Amino acid sequence: MKYDLKQAEKSLTKEFEYIDDIRDYNQKKVLKAFIDNKVAPEHFYTVSGYGHDDVGKEVLDKVFAQVFCAEAAIARNHFVSGTHALSCVLFGNLRFGDKLISVAGAPYDTMQEVIGTTGGKRESLIGHGILYDEIPLTETEEVDFERLESSIDKTVTMVEIQRSRGYSTRKSLNIETIKKIVSIVKSKNPDCICFVDNCYGEFVEKEEPLEAGADIIAGSLIKNPGGGIVETGGYIAGKQEYVEQAAMALTAPGIGAEGGAMLNQHRLIFQGLFMAPSIVSEAVKGAVLASKVFEDIGYKSTPRHDEPRTDIIQTIIFDKQEPLEHFCKTVQALSPVNSYVTPIPDDVPGYEDKVIMAGGTFIEGSTIELSADGPLRPPYAAYMQGGLNYAHIKLVLEGILEGI
């Protein structure tokens, strides 16, 4: 398809200036945390064995806590994924008979496995005697604030707020929406823990969920806050008591955040966090351009190019399987790694439907690097995320347009 990509870029000057302003604000915030906590070369050194007396680990946690406006934080390579970090928050802070509510419909597919709604396995939350409910979205796929208000009472121990949309077509929840959710929950039950799944959202806005009143957040280091160079891991940040409980779910009661050798990962995590605001801005610019392109050629694309954003995900709805597959195959073919591989739909652990995934990334599964995927179910939506540099995203969009 013949399409003037340069003209599309020129029309996005206002949107790109807005993204640059957020980048600069967040970069200043991150830099201040490094300066205030006196990050030095000795904090990059590693220890072995139990991982005790690790001054680098202590300072790393303080930097993450300051960046996310938390009382405490843990950033560890021991988390195998964002889902693992989220799971530790849930299992660390919920006990038999406690009640968890998801406030924006069903959570991400892998979290349904953790909760137990896909089969009630013994190892799930439900299998451990945790009560669970969810508040469906309205007919327009918005948070149902009226039902939220009527659902929260003294029996609710925790609400789960998924910032990003996951494999759904609902809007991602921006900071203002999260602030409204937390306000309603706290007005009905001040003791209820407001937990935000912050995956894909870090540094996309100037504020983070803890500044909106949330009690605890978690995310992955191979997404936004790892800056594209962290090899594995996740983070948890929030009120000290909740972070400590989550840390004990990661390691063991009595060990918590003290244990665990970092295996020479300190420098990468420090450096990745420092790079993150700029890397995220590149990904967001690419998503805005993708949105503009697909709107122009007749597809539904969300968010729209001129809408404020709260995560790095761009959804393009194709309504048919073939264009979804073409999209993902082109992303793979124009990736720096495994470009010769052709992605095919397949079963993926944690997902009910077959999923097609494109991800020629330097770090396996990294979604701050350019990747795309989508479950093979209506409305056949592609979920594009990441991009270490804007130029690469442009090249991929050119390739997709050539095949349409």
pLDDT at residue 331 greater than cutoff 70: yes
Alpha helices in 334-404 (DSSP H): 390-402
Q: Of 122, 131, 134, 120, which is closest to residue 97 (Cα–Cα)?
A: 131
What integer is the mean pLDDT of 330-356?
91
> Which residues are paired to 99 by β-bridges?
131
Give the tens place of pLDDT for each residue, 227-236.
999 999 999 9
Lowest mean pLDDT among 115-129, 274-288, 323-337: 115-129
pTM for this entry: 0.96
| Cα pseudo-dihedral 258, 263, 268, 270, rounded to 10 | 20
CB-based contact 301:295 (threshold 8 Å): yes
- What confidence score (pLDDT) does residue 350 get? 63
Pairing of strands 216-220, 193-197: parallel
> Which residues are paired to 119 by β-bridges?
none
Q: How many helices (H) and strands (E) does the chain have?
A: 11, 12
- What confidence score (pLDDT) does residue 120 get? 62
Angle at 305 between CA 301 and CA 310, to 5 degrees: 90
Q: Of 349, 401, 343, 345, which is closest to residue 371 (Cα–Cα)?
A: 343
Give the tens place of pLDDT for each residue, 32-44.
999 999 999 999 9
- What confidence score (pLDDT) does residue 118 get? 82
Alpha helices in 251-310 (DSSP H): 266-296
What integer is the mean pLDDT of 132-154?
96
Pairing of strands 300-302, 314-317: antiparallel
Give the tens place of pLDDT for each residue, 54-110.
999 999 999 999 999 999 999 999 999 999 999 999 999 999 999 999 999 999 888
CB-based contact 136:127 (threshold 8 Å): no
Give the tens place of pLDDT for each residue, 11-26.
999 999 999 999 999 9
Cα dihedral across residues 308, 311, 313, 317: positive or negative = negative
- Percent of residues, the chain, with pLDDT higher than 70: 99
Q: What is the CA radius of gyration of the chain?
A: 21
Between CA 322 and CA 242 the distance in angstroms is 45
Q: Give the tokens for residue 55.
A: 């001054």
- What confidence score (pLDDT) does residue 352 get? 78
CB-based contact 61:228 (threshold 8 Å): no
